[in-house]
Amino acid sequence: MTPLFQLLGMLIMFILNCLGASGQPNLKNAADVDRNVIYGMYSGLALVMDVYYPTEPNGYGVVQISGSGWTRPLGYDARVLSHQAHVINDGEPLLAAGYIVFAINHRATPRFRYPSQVEDVQRAIRFIRFHSKKFGINPDKIGAVGGSSGGHLASMLGVLNGDEHRPDGSPVNQVNAKVQCVIARAAPSNFINGQDATYFLGVREKERIIEGSMEHEIAFEASPITHVTPDDPPMLLVHGDADEVVDFSLSEIMLSKLKKAGVPTKLIRVEDGDHGFHFRGEKPTDLDAICVQWMDKHLRGL
């Protein structure tokens, strides 16, 4: 190979490496970031998260879960969840308010189906809580934010008891996985008569609506509305009423369920908003402030 071709090859590799690095979002409000922190190992598969530190930490942490339809491509170069634009959207206002943001990845379909995703986000909370002194956060007050499938998982972190999915007796897995404040955007709340997620649940739609079937039980168990109890944390729901992916009515159903249980909740209806955090071009200008205020009030008690 001539020196010229060697030089061109090196240049191409440099450009590709730069493009690859740019996949990890740079949050302007982050003073520092720990990339690819391993919060668990599933049969040799590393579960990782990025930890973003604010300039002036307030002593509280929020887990951020990007939407993905609970799925990722099968290839080795599949983009991880912590590289999604959701991280910037959810993370920037929280960092500006002093929250440490944990942007996490989880196992995904089609290789891994429910309850793998729920198991992973619970493991992430346990890991963060177990190492709270290292991160400099209050272990008793951890928040969660997510959109779409990430909103579903954030909701599950709130409504589940937090003692589920403990595969062994390790110290980390003995820690409770329930969070104390949730913000869920366009979150599927009901898989029985609501959101179709056959690929996620691994069951056919015609069977999952038959009460008493195994498929119905799986859909029931995976639905946040079936786990709502009075001890659940405050939940802020955000949803566009023109969403064609996750119907707006699912947030209305969740709101009603939470209110009936006496859980502090609120639904922000984005008029003519579609699926995605931009809600058809541009999100409401006051939404970031509302989300931060929700965390400040219900997580920090301000």
Q: What angle do CA 207, 209, 213 make, to 5 degrees?
A: 55
Q: In which element (H, E) is residue 40 found?
A: strand 30-42
CA dihedral 176, 180, 186, 188 (to 10 degrees): 40
Residue 282: the pLDDT is: 74
* Rg of the chain in Å (alpha carbons): 20
Whether 45 is in a domain gets the answer yes
Q: Given this model, what pLDDT does residue 206 score?
A: 83
- Model confidence pLDDT, tens digit, residues 76-117: 999 899 999 999 999 999 999 999 999 999 999 999 999 999
CA distances from residue 276 to 89, 118, 242, 281, 288 in whole angstroms, order as listed: 11, 21, 11, 9, 15
Q: In the structure, what pLDDT confidence band is assigned to residue 8 with cuts at 50, 70 and 90?
A: very low
Q: Distance between CA atoms of 69 and 58, rounded to whole angstroms? A: 32
The chain-wide mean pLDDT, for the chain, equals: 91
Residue-number span of the structural domain to which 211 is assigned: 25-298
The type of residue at 39 is: Y
Residue 8, in any domain of the structure:
no
Return the CATH number at 289.
Answer: 3.40.50.1820
Query: Residue 12 falls within a domain, yes or no?
Result: no
β-partners of residue 51 are 34, 102
**Tokens in use for 94?**
């929280």
Could you tell me if residue 189 is inside a domain? yes
Look at residue 177 in the predicted model and tell me its pLDDT: 98
**Closest by Cα among 186, 182, 169, 183 to 126:** 169
Nearest to residue 109, comparing CAs of 63, 145, 80, 74?
74
pLDDT reading at 194 higher than 90: no
Q: Give backbone dihedrals phi and psi of 128, rounded to 5 degrees, phi first.
A: -65, -45
Element housing 92 (H / E): helix 85-96
pLDDT at 19: 38
At position 122, the amino acid (one-letter code) is Q
The burial class, CB within 10 Å (0-12 / 13-18 / 19+), for 181 is buried
pLDDT digits (tens, 9 = 90+) for 12-68: 333 333 434 446 888 999 999 999 999 999 999 999 999 999 999 999 999 999 999
pLDDT at residue number 115: 97
Residue at 271 is within a domain: yes
Query: Which pLDDT score is estimated for 195?
Result: 78
Reading the block at residue 171, the tokens are 């110290």
CB 85 within 8 A of CB 123: no
Helix 85-96 to helix 287-298 angle, to the nearest 10 degrees? 60
Q: What is the pTM of this model?
A: 0.91
Q: At residue 9, does pLDDT exceed 70?
A: no
Q: How many domains are there within the chain?
A: 1
| pLDDT confidence of residue 210 | 87
pLDDT tens-digit readout, 208-252: 888 889 999 999 999 999 999 999 999 999 999 999 999 999 999
Q: Residue 213's pLDDT is what?
A: 92
Which pLDDT belongs to residue 207?
Answer: 87
